[in-house]
Amino acid sequence: MQVVIVRTAAEVAQFAADRVAAQLQRKPDSVLGLATGATPVATYELLIEQYRQGRLSFARCHTCNLDEYLGLGPEHPQSYRRFMQDKLFNHIDVLPEQTHLPDGLAADPEAECQHYENLIRQLGGVDLQLLGIGRNGHIGFNEPMSSLGSRTRIKTLTPDTVEANARYFRPDEFQPQLALTMGIGTIMEARQVLLLATGEAKAEAVATMVEGPVAARCPASALQFHPTVCVVLDEAAAADLTRKSFYQYVEAQARALVRDPAPW
């Protein structure tokens, strides 16, 4: 697990945007796994700016989002489809038919989950998966005690997650307590994973993910087994790491190796 610690949330966003841009420049028809929530918004803004400057195109890529609320349609203000349209898709040249999310209004949600799994497989798998992390260690909507081998499925949200997301809903508005989400096993099949975390509220979850045992109580800890995962943190999110100086040393050595390659 590569752990990158930068000073600010803005630097986290820049690192992530540069990594996504490099992926698209290397492979324009990449399958990007995308996330919602507050953390990736700044990254999306930077990607939009690169597109507007003519430095980046999304025209050949496909996107597959992690999850969607069960019971919300694409036009609902709090649906994740609407979030992605507002925060990214409406501002870049990605083809609408190449942006994919689970259908929150599917007549048969279980069949929709299998359809989504099949879709990812048909696209050739996710090349780069962007993740955030919940305060309870969830990734996607894989809440604590989720199976570490789980596939796309219907998931009951914990009270903590419902409470954390309540700020996005009006008091008189229906707030779903079920979601369709990629499973941990599905996420682990992405060729690369890029997890972003900012702010002191995420520090405990980050430390448990990186340094704690691999356990269902912290679903993100499964990423310890992923061969190419990069965790990008600001100083606040890294505050609880016990080996912070070691991670910084490793990164410094890696950067020196790239700048000054060995003569052999």
Residue the block writes with tokens 């752990």? 3
For residue 8, the tally of other CB atoms under 10 A from its CB is 12
pLDDT greater than 90 at residue 257: no
Exposed/middle/buried for 74, CB within 10 Å: 0-12, 13-18, 19+? Answer: middle
Higher confidence at residue 170 or residue 64? 64
Q: List the catalytic residue out of 136, 142, 165, 226.
A: 136
Strand 128-131 relative to strand 153-156, pairing: unpaired
Averaged pLDDT, 235-258? 92
Is 115 catalytic? The answer is: no
pLDDT greater than 70 at residue 259: no
| Cα distance between residue 176 and residue 189, in whole Å | 28
Per residue in 228-246, pLDDT (tens digit) is 999 999 999 999 999 999 9
Residue 190 DSSP one-character state: S
| Cα distance between residue 100 and residue 98, in whole Å | 6
**Do 226 and 192 meet the contact criterion of CB atoms below 8 Å apart?**
no
Q: List the catalytic residue out of 62, 76, 100, 138.
A: 138
pLDDT greater than 60 at residue 260: no
Q: What are phi and psi of 238, to 5 degrees?
A: -90, 0
Predicted confidence at residue 177, as pLDDT, reads 94
Domain limits, the chain: 2-259
| Cα distance between residue 154 and residue 156, in whole Å | 7
pLDDT greater than 60 at residue 179: yes
pLDDT greater than 80 at residue 264: no
Q: List the catalytic residue out of 67, 68, 112, 234.
A: 67
The class of domain 2-259 in CATH terms is alpha beta
pLDDT greater than 90 at residue 197: yes
Averaged pLDDT, 143-172? 92
Confidence class for position 262, pLDDT limits 50, 70, 90:
very low
Is 62 catalytic? The answer is: no
Per residue in 32-77, pLDDT (tens digit) is 999 999 999 999 999 999 999 999 999 999 999 999 999 999 999 9
Length of the chain: 264
Per residue in 81-103, pLDDT (tens digit) is 999 999 999 999 999 999 999 99
**Do 182 and 152 meet the contact criterion of CB atoms below 8 Å apart?**
yes
Is 138 catalytic? The answer is: yes
Give the mean pLDDT of the chain: 95
Write the CB contacts of 264 (distance below 8 Å, at least 6 apart in sequence).
none
